[in-house]
Structure 1
């Protein structure tokens, strides 16, 4: 994984425009800002993992939405434990984070977000049975990750 140079992190504005050069998964993209790669973790949401149902579809939705395009990145200057910038990404007045939720490819990550507009979008997607909500049962990505890490630990013993 590529990391930002220290000087760029220090001088990264809260709003900037950058070209999307990679889509890691549904909620993680890579942009090029001032010739430096910046990994973005989409704020307020959590997409299914790649091996989960709708994980690949979430990644494809994100790629279709923004790959190769110049997007606006809006952040509070915070990074997660993997050194990804936590941000909202917009393209042509549409917010990728909200589009993923309203199309059923992401859940509102309430543990890290108090923005109730995402809860409303999630409820609407559930009612319309969009994306992951078209299935009988969906496992939240954070629960899936816990189960997977426990299995890995058990297999190592």
Structure 2
């Protein structure tokens, strides 16, 4: 009924007189259903959207590099979570958010319930990437993994990937 009234008002009066409470929220994210066809490392996957391959950089996190301690374990964990599966990716912005290398930055949801990004931090196989993320939830997940000495936090002096790359 509400939609019929909204349609009637739009047709006869235009958008200018419709109260804001009747208008849908602005679209500020891109949501895609895709299949994961490759895992490049612990924070990057390749997905297939129809016939288009897209490289996804997991938002909020930075995983150990392949040649770094826990790099292969991190890649394997992400692979176990999502390789070969149909997943939902959520990227900020109407057309998505991209990094300087052309990779879409997104969160990946398996079965619409499990956030792979959060699972990587929770398992101690990725850092919360505070340089690009102010998420309190990711900070808390990292703190819990550190406290419980999970994954890379079992090392005495884990090296952040951004330091390792230098």
Residue-by-residue CA offset, 1:82-101 (whole Å, 9 max, x unaligned): 10000000002010000000
Matching residue within 97, 107, 110 for 1:88: 107
After TM superposition, what 4+ stretches of structure 1 lie above 3 angstroms from structure 2? none
Partner of 1:131: 151
Q: Where does structure 1 lack aligned partners over 5 or more consecutive residues?
A: 1-12, 147-157
1:19, distance to aligned residue in structure 2 (A): 0.4
1:43, distance to aligned residue in structure 2 (A): 0.2
* Superposition RMSD in Å: 0.8
What is the correspondence of 1:62-73 to structure 2 with a 5 Å cutoff?
62-73=78-89
What's the secondary structure of 1:133's corresponding residue?
A: helix
How many residues align structurally?
134
Matching residue within 56, 70, 73 for 2:72: 56
Larger radius of gyration: 2
What's the secondary structure of 2:157's corresponding residue?
A: coil
Distance, in Å, in 1 between the alignment partners of 2:145 and 2:135 is 17
What is the correspondence of 1:89-108 to structure 2 with a 5 Å cutoff?
89-92=108-111, 93-108=113-128
TM superposition score normalised by structure 2? 0.79
Distance, in Å, in 1 between the alignment partners of 2:98 and 2:154 is 33
